[in-house]
Structure 1
Amino acid sequence: MKIKLSSVYVDDQEKALRFYTEVLGFAKKSDFSNGTYRWLTVTSAEDPAGTELQLALNNNPAAAAYQQAIFQQNQPAANVFTDNLKTEYESIKGRGAQFTMRPTDVQYAWIAMLKDTCGNLVQITQLKGW
């Protein structure tokens, strides 16, 4: 078995698509609608056949409550990995991202955290010695 899809709730799918593609550099994978429902996913531009991230609209009370609670607790809704956090941080910051945590040494890794403009925090991680 392998993980093929994970989801993150967003308050605006268009804004989320812009952020995840234009700021983080992911590629749009799937985008189709059925009435008011929209299935929207992105994937790594480096691994287009890899794991997809669904940008799911938080249009129900449970999704909105979950999204708000983890944001208020400073918990990331998504965690992405890089081999060079310093370079990614500077690049993403240059594209206008608002970081809530600069690159920080947390013993096993370097991490940084930023807002995705759609109600979430995203953590970027560079593992050490793995």
Structure 2
Amino acid sequence: MKIKLTSVYVTDQEKALRFYTDVLGFTKKADFSNGPFRWLTVASPDEPDGTELQLAADDNPAAKAYQQAIFQQGQPAVMFFTDDVKGDYDRIKVRGAEFTMPPTEVTGSTIAQLSDTCGNLIQITQLARW
């Protein structure tokens, strides 16, 4: 088995698409609508056929409650891995991202956290080299 898709709920799909592509640097993978439903995914340009991230509308009350609760607890909704957290921090910050935590060493890794402007915290993680 493989993980091919995961989702994050967003308050505004168009705004999320701009953030995940223009600020983070992902590429749009799928974008189609059926009535009010919009299927929207992004992928890493380094792995265009790899795992996709669905930017799902939080129009379901349960989804909205979940999204708000984990945000208020300071929990990231999604975590991305990198080989250069400091470089990614600098690149993303210049593009206008608001970080809630700059690169910080924790046990086994260095992490940074930022808001995706659509109701979620994102964590960027660089694993320590032993």
Could you state the TM-score of these two structures normalised by the residue count of structure 1?
0.99
CA distance in 1, matches of 2:77, 2:28: 19
CA distance in 2, matches of 1:62, 1:117: 20
The Cα shift of 1:60 comes to 1.2
Deviations 1:50-105 (A, max 9, x none): 00000000001100000000000000001001000110000000000000001000
Partner of 2:89: 89
CA distance in 2, matches of 1:58, 1:107: 33
Does 2:26 align with 1:32? no
SS at match of 1:76: coil
Give the root-mean-square deviation of aligned CA atoms. 0.7
SS at match of 1:17: helix
Partner of 2:99: 99
Amino acid at match of 1:82: T
SS at match of 1:50: coil
Alignment gaps of 5+ in structure 2: none
Amino acid at match of 2:9: Y
Partner of 1:80: 80
Partner of 2:15: 15
Partner of 1:121: 121
Alignment gaps of 5+ in structure 1: none
Amino acid at match of 1:74: G
CA distance in 2, matches of 1:8, 1:25: 17
Amino acid at match of 2:49: A
SS at match of 1:79: strand
Amino acid at match of 1:108: G
Amino acid at match of 1:6: T
Could you state the TM-score of these two structures normalised by the residue count of structure 2?
0.99
Partner of 2:48: 48
The Cα shift of 1:129 comes to 1.8
CA distance in 1, matches of 2:85, 2:33: 35
